[in-house]
Amino acid sequence: MISLGIESTAHTFGCGIISDKGKIYANVTDAYRTESGGIHPSEARKHHENAKDKVAEDALGIANLKLSDIDLISFSQGPGLSPCLLVGMAKAKELAKKLNVPLVGVNHCIAHLEIGKLMTKAKDPVLLYPSGANTQIIAYEAGKYRVFGETLDQGVGNFIDSFARYIGLGFPGGPKIEKLALDGKNYIELPYVVKGMDVSFSGILTNLKQKYGSKKYPVEDLAFSLQETVFAMLVEVSERAMAHTGKKELVLGGGVACNKRLQQMCRIMCEERNAKFSVPPNEVLVDNGLMIAWLGIVQRKQAAKNYDRIDIRPYERTDDVLVDWR
Ligand code: AMP
Ligand code: MG
């Protein structure tokens, strides 16, 4: 069985193709970027409208498959920006109708976890999922992927992007902050905000803006301190989730997980508690269609041809989804 998956929750329009054996055929993405400012939902929608046909065609071309080779279509149902989600769903429905194959909508956050399991061979991991809009620590317990900790305000990626934007860097800011941080020499104390199992970034953002505005601190030191502080928060909560659940594997997912310093901090924590740490390749850490195609396979029992009854779910939470495939 071959599945084609479409991702369009935010900045990226992606199309991936994978078989039920996990054979990867293609993973094509086209991301909306800006020189200054963040994601404007209606601009991102326009980007996706323009990109969707070519991305799907390119994926089939790279896979060396005909459209008629596809047995199943899946798409990101949520969480995400409605204008963007609607473009992905429309493309998915167009293809499913043309082929007369089943269609299934899937949860973007769970897709990160399932592709992480496939690619790292982890069996029952805790997932640290730091991305643009989302920041969650997720693990399976009693029929659902439970959220053991999460951000109380913005996602860590949006937080980093906001600070990057404030100091005049474009979107996405994460890689630029990572580069600046390499030249940081001194740790500048910042608020460290862990509440129970949750984290919060908006106060740290205000504090960073004030410090930047005071012109007393080199921007490299601010970038370095930002990373050291918020990554320590994420690692702390992940470790506590592992201790609580007794799970022995940590997997990363989400765009911020591309950050080498975050990976290093997670690795150290796992080594210290004799746990296995794995990072899937960057192409599935960022938003992508491959993980959507794979979750389509995983949830194929729910796929259906009553296309008109399938809709987007912009506010769907990880723990709303009944996990009946484990
Ligand atoms: P996603 O929402 O999962 O596609 O992830 C996008 C987010 O990942 C954006 O906020 C980026 O700034 C962030 N990001 C990408 N690469 C890095 C990196 N190397 N370090 C930190 N953040 C990153
Ligand atoms: Mg994501």
Q: pLDDT for 38-49, tens place per residue?
A: 788 999 999 999
> What pTM did the predictor assign?
0.95
Domain residues for the domain of 182 are: 121-283
What CATH number does residue 59 fall under? Answer: 3.30.420.40
Q: Which residue has the tokens 């591309």?
A: 258
Instruction: Report phi then psi at 216, rounded to 5.
Output: -90, -15
293 and 267 within one domain: no
Ligand 1 pocket member 275 (CB < 6 A): no
Classify residue 138: in a domain, yes or no. yes
Ligand 1 pocket member 198 (CB < 6 A): no
Ligand 1 pocket member 270 (CB < 6 A): no
Ligand 1, pocket-test mutation among 7, 33, 158, 160, most atoms within 8 A of CB? 160
Summary mean pLDDT of the chain: 96
Query: Which residue's CA lies nearest to atom 2 of ligand 1?
Result: 132
Name 106's bridge partners: 76
173: CA distance to ligand 1 center in Å? 7
Classify residue 326: in a domain, yes or no. no
43 and 190 within one domain: no
- Of 70, 74, 76, 77, the C-alpha closest to 98 is 70
295 and 270 within one domain: no
How far is residue 152's CA from residue 43's CA, in Å, rounded to a whole number? 27
> C-alpha angle with apex 116: 115 to 119, nearest 5 degrees?
80
Q: What is the pLDDT along the chain (326 residues), one digit of tens a residue?
A: 999 999 999 999 999 999 999 999 999 999 998 776 678 899 999 999 999 999 999 999 999 999 999 999 999 999 999 999 999 999 999 999 999 999 999 999 999 999 999 999 999 999 999 999 999 999 999 999 999 999 999 999 999 999 999 999 877 899 999 999 999 999 999 999 999 999 999 999 999 999 999 999 999 999 999 999 999 999 999 999 999 999 999 999 999 999 999 999 999 999 999 999 999 999 999 999 999 999 999 999 999 999 999 999 999 999 999 999 98
Beta carbons of 65 and 25 less than 8 angstroms apart = yes
Query: Which residue's CA lies nearest to atom 5 of ligand 1?
Result: 255
pLDDT of amino acid 301: 96
> Which stretches of the chain are assigned E, i.e. beta strand?
2-7, 12-19, 24-31, 72-78, 103-107, 126-130, 135-141, 144-150, 194-195, 198-199, 249-252, 276-278
- Of 319, 322, 324, 313, the C-alpha closest to 81 is 313
Classify residue 177: in a domain, yes or no. yes
DSSP class of residue 39? -
Ligand 1 pocket member 259 (CB < 6 A): yes
How many distinct structural domains can be found in the chain? 2
207 and 172 within one domain: yes
Classify residue 205: in a domain, yes or no. yes
247 and 99 within one domain: no
pLDDT of amino acid 189: 98
Ligand 1 pocket member 157 (CB < 6 A): yes
CA dist 231 → 60, 156, 261, 279 (Å)? 38, 9, 8, 15
315 and 225 within one domain: no
CA dist 8 → 96, 117, 143, 151, 215 (Å)? 17, 22, 27, 22, 39
